[in-house]
Amino acid sequence: MQQLNDFLVNLLGPMGPLYAVGGLGVIMVLVTLPILLKRDADPLDKIKDARVRVHQDGEKMDLRVGGGGKDKLEKYSAFLEPQNEEEYSAIQLKLLQAGYPGKDAVRTFHFAQMALGLGLLAFGVLLTFLKVQNGQEMTAQERMIWILVPGVAGYMLPKYWVTRRVETRKEEIINGFPDALDMMLTCVEAGQSLDQAILRVSKEIHASYPALADEFSIVSHELKAGKDRIQVLRDMSERSGVADVASFVTVMIQSATFGTSIADALRVYAGEMRDKRVMRAEEKANTLPTKMTLATMLLTVPPLLLILIGPSIYGIYETLQNVRF
């Protein structure tokens, strides 16, 4: 054991035994994972497999949306997906708001977290090893930082990306919603039904506001499938996560409940959305001077002080030098 310890110290440095133990642990985890993840076929999965139909060319096609081909990560779903229903629903809702409506979005999200975390962790180990091999002295704390920080960053990167996507998508929906309501009002007043107006608006605004167009397209397809209109609108409000859309859904539900004119409700609400967009623009314009104050001070005051006070300071310095000599 002493010879092995000396060999590892000479090869990898003072932390050589620790690296060897860590590498052995990683190898054991990689060997054990396939055994743990391998599970017997679930009876429910057998029932799902039985619910397939034979296509004309003899190939089996899944009846679910997006069927045809089995997800490669499905056998690891017990490891990649949260088993808690509330946690799973929360992550699924966040991915929907980010624009990832696929049925495998949660599984892919957790796989990306695990893959990036382990990949960057291995990169940190390799980078630390190269630094030690090049003769750079590193304390144990520095080595842990160089190893763990990339792994943590890789694990948090998908979450940060999804959060940014959610904010960007919400902003796009907020900016395009007043224009969409104006177009919808025009379609309804031209004699189209609300369902036809939603479909037409989704096609027209796709080039400018693709996120909002996708939401309207989903609403149109769900209505065509026979889903209840009130439930479809509520689902749209939940998917978007925007207060303006939630208010619009409330107005539409109230209009359908009390039997009032949809065109009148759209006209009033579209006017409110236009006024609200103008107020948001004015609010941003009013906050602009405050945001520019710090930049103005940093870029203007130091040069001004240098120009005004610099010659005096230099004169005082020269006077003190002459007094000393």
Nearest to 67 by CA among 49, 89, 47, 91: 49
Going by pLDDT thresholds of 50, 70 and 90, the confidence category of residue 68 is very low
Residue 216 lies in a domain: yes
Q: Residue 320 domain-assigned?
A: no
173 within domain boundaries: yes
Q: Smallest Cα–Cα separation from 151: which of 195, 117, 107?
A: 117
- 79 confidence band (pLDDT: 50, 70, 90): low
Residues facing 60 on adjacent strands: 54
pTM, whole model, 2 decimals?
0.64
Q: Which residue has the higher pLDDT, 16 or 91?
A: 91
CB 113 within 8 A of CB 160: no
63 within some domain:
no
- Residues of the domain holding 225: 169-278
State the Cα angle at 33 between 28 and 36, rounded to 5°: 125
Query: Rounded distance, CA 309 to CA 167, Å?
Result: 47
What local confidence, expressed as pLDDT, does residue 80 receive?
Answer: 61
Residue 72 main-chain phi, psi, to 5 deg: -70, -25
Phi, psi of 61 (to 5 degrees): -125, 130
**Bridge partner residues of 53 (DSSP):** 61
Q: Give me the pLDDT at residue 161, please.
A: 92
Does residue 109 fall inside a structural domain? no
Query: Can you give the pLDDT at residue 164?
Result: 92
Residues 122-165 pLDDT 10s: 888 888 888 888 877 778 788 888 888 888 898 899 999 999 99
Total count of domains within the chain: 1
**pLDDT tens digits, one per residue of 211-225:** 888 888 888 888 888
Q: Taking all residues of the chain, what is their mean pLDDT, rounded to a whole number?
A: 79
pLDDT band with cut points at 50, 70 and 90 for residue 60: very low
In a domain, 242, yes or no: yes
23 within domain boundaries? no
Q: What is the pLDDT of residues 261-314, one digit of tens each?
A: 888 888 888 888 888 888 888 888 888 888 888 888 888 888 888 888 888 888
Mean local confidence (pLDDT), 229-249: 87
Per-residue CA distances from 81 to 85, 96, 152, 189, 203 (Å): 10, 16, 19, 47, 35
* Any domain includes 266: yes
Tell me how far apart the alpha carbons of residues 234 and 232 are, in angstroms, rounded to a whole number. Answer: 5
pLDDT higher than 70, residue 27: yes
Please give the pLDDT value at position 266: 86
Angle, alpha carbons 273-275-276 (nearest 5°): 60
